[in-house]
Amino acid sequence: MTVTLPDDAPATLGEAFARINSVTAPTITDLKVMVLVEAAGQTLYEKSAEAAGHPRVKELLIENGHEEMKHARRAAEVIKLLTGEDFPAPAAADNPYLTGHIPVAAITPEGLRKTAESEFAGEKLYESWAASVDNDAAAELLRANGREETDHANRLLEAAALLEG
């Protein structure tokens, strides 16, 4: 069943990305939006992988996607630690941010580099969220996500280099 969005959550994936990227100290709603956006991230990477012709590039995109779902689960754990509430990462079919248009980044060196920039920005975002949270275990989960966003960016740069041959 589709997850019900909190009343004060953005309605679409694009707005959800804009919201979390503008927040430095998250509310619980922001953390829930992050669970959904990260879970959607797996689908976005899978769609990109389908569009990619180069087998290694496909693999790199799938690896990133797999980790985005891990990030969603960690963000859910953060919510649990801070509030005791269960807000599990949904499967794609139950994710309200995957009901509309699903944007797929261009599988070109430029497109991949642009996505790499958002991934590097993701690490900074998680670092600020971790610094704002008054719970060491929750902060560490957010930092673990952040470190992997840097790995994602580096995989994308590797993929861009592969396409340039």
Q: In 3-state terms, what secondary structure has residue 31?
A: helix
Point out which span in 9-17, 80-88, 98-106, 142-150 binds Fe ion (CB under 5 A).
142-150
Smallest separation, CB 118 to Fe ion (Å): 8
Among residues 77, 123, 127, 149, which is the contact residue for Fe ion, using CB under 5 A?
149
Binding to Fe ion (CB under 5 A): which residues in 39-98?
68, 71
Smallest separation, CB 164 to Fe ion (Å): 22
Distance CA 74, CA 39 (A): 11
Task: Please report how the helices 109-132 and 136-164 are oriented relative to each other, as an axis angle in degrees rounded to 10.
Answer: 170
Q: Is 152 in the site for Fe ion (CB under 5 A)?
A: yes
Question: What distances in angstroms separate CA 130 from CA 25, 30, 35, 76, one per listed residue?
Answer: 8, 13, 15, 14
Give 3-state DSSP helix, strand, coil % of the chain, rounded to 5. 75, 0, 25
Total of chain residues touching Fe ion, rule CB under 5 A: 6
* End-to-end CA separation in angstroms for the chain: 44
Query: Nearer Cβ to Fe ion, position 1 or 116?
Result: 116
Point out which span in 8-16, 52-60, 119-127, 131-139 binds Fe ion (CB under 5 A).
119-127
3, 96 contact by CB (below 8 A):
yes
Q: Which amino acid is at 50?
A: E
Point out which span in 9-17, 75-83, 103-111, 150-158 binds Fe ion (CB under 5 A).
150-158
Q: Is 127 in the site for Fe ion (CB under 5 A)?
A: no
Query: Nearer Cβ to Fe ion, position 10 or 38?
Result: 38
Binding site residues, Fe ion, CB under 5 A: 38, 68, 71, 119, 149, 152
